Amino acid sequence: MAAQTIADFTAKTPKGEEIDLASKLGKVLLVVNTASKCGFTPQYDGLEALWKQYGDQGFEVLAFPCNQFGHQEPGSAEEIDQFCKVNFGLSFPLMGKIEVNGPGATPLYQWLKDEAPGLFGSKGIKWNFTKFLINREGKVVRRYAPTDKPESIAKDIEALL
C-alpha cells in the first residue's frame, strides 16, 4: 500500500536509533535537508528561530543532513551535530545523515517528492535546504525552494497551528 502520511515512515537519529514518525502526528513539521558547508547554511539561524517561536505550539523542525550536493556535508553524524550546536546554537534535534535523490534516497524523501513535486513537476531535490511543510494530519502542504528563507514560511506555519 502506498504511503498516506508521514506516520508511514521512520527516521534515524545521528546515533542510528530509529524513530517512528507516527509519533509526530498532531504536530506541524518542517522537513528540510541540510548541510554545514553550503551557501544556505546560515538558514539554520532561521530554522532555530521558527523552532523557538512555535515549538511550544506544536511545531517541529526535522533536519536531515545530506552530502549529495557539492559534498557540503562530509562529516559524521556526531561532527555535524556538534557543528550545528557550536556555530548556530541549534536546540532542535538533527536527524541522521541521509540521501534524498537517487537509488539510495530514503523512503520518506521519495514520498515527500511525490507529494510535492518541485518547479515544473520535477521530483528531484535540487539543493540543500529544500523544505517541506507537513500539517498536523501528517500530509504534505507545500514544498519550498532552498532560496526560501525560513522566516518567509512563518505565516504558513501559523495558519496550520
pLDDT tens, position by position, 37-73: 888 788 989 999 999 999 999 999 999 999 898 888 8
68-93 per-position pLDDT tens digit: 988 888 778 778 877 877 777 888 88
Would you say residue 99 has pLDDT above 90? Answer: yes
pLDDT at 144: 95
Is residue 3 pLDDT above 80, yes or no? no
Is residue 118's pLDDT more than 80?
Answer: no
The pLDDT of 30-42, averaged and rounded, is 88
pLDDT at position 131 over 90: yes
Q: Which CATH class is domain 6-160?
A: alpha beta
Provide the 8-state DSSP code for 27: S
Q: Confirm whether 38 is a catalytic residue.
A: yes
Domain-wise residue ranges, the chain:
6-160
Sheet of 59-65: strand order equals 59-65, 28-34, 131-134, 140-144
Nearest to 125 by CA among 139, 104, 156: 104
- The C-alpha angle 155, 43, 91, rounded to 5 degrees, equals 90
pTM, rounded to two decimals: 0.92
Query: Which residue among the candidates 38, 84, 94, 100 is catalytic per the annotation?
Result: 38
154-155-157 Cα angle (round to 5): 65
Mean pLDDT value across residues 131-146: 96
59, 28 in Cβ contact below 8 A?
yes
Give the model's pLDDT for residue 77: 77
pLDDT-above-70 percentage for the chain = 98
- How does the average pLDDT of the chain come out, rounded? 90
Does residue 17 register a pLDDT over 80? Answer: yes
Closest CA to 95 of 3, 149, 15: 15
Which parts of the chain are beta strand (E)?
10-12, 18-20, 28-34, 59-65, 131-134, 140-144
Axis crossing angle, helix 43-54 with helix 77-88, rounded to the nearest 10: 80
Q: Per-residue pLDDT for 28 more than 70?
A: yes
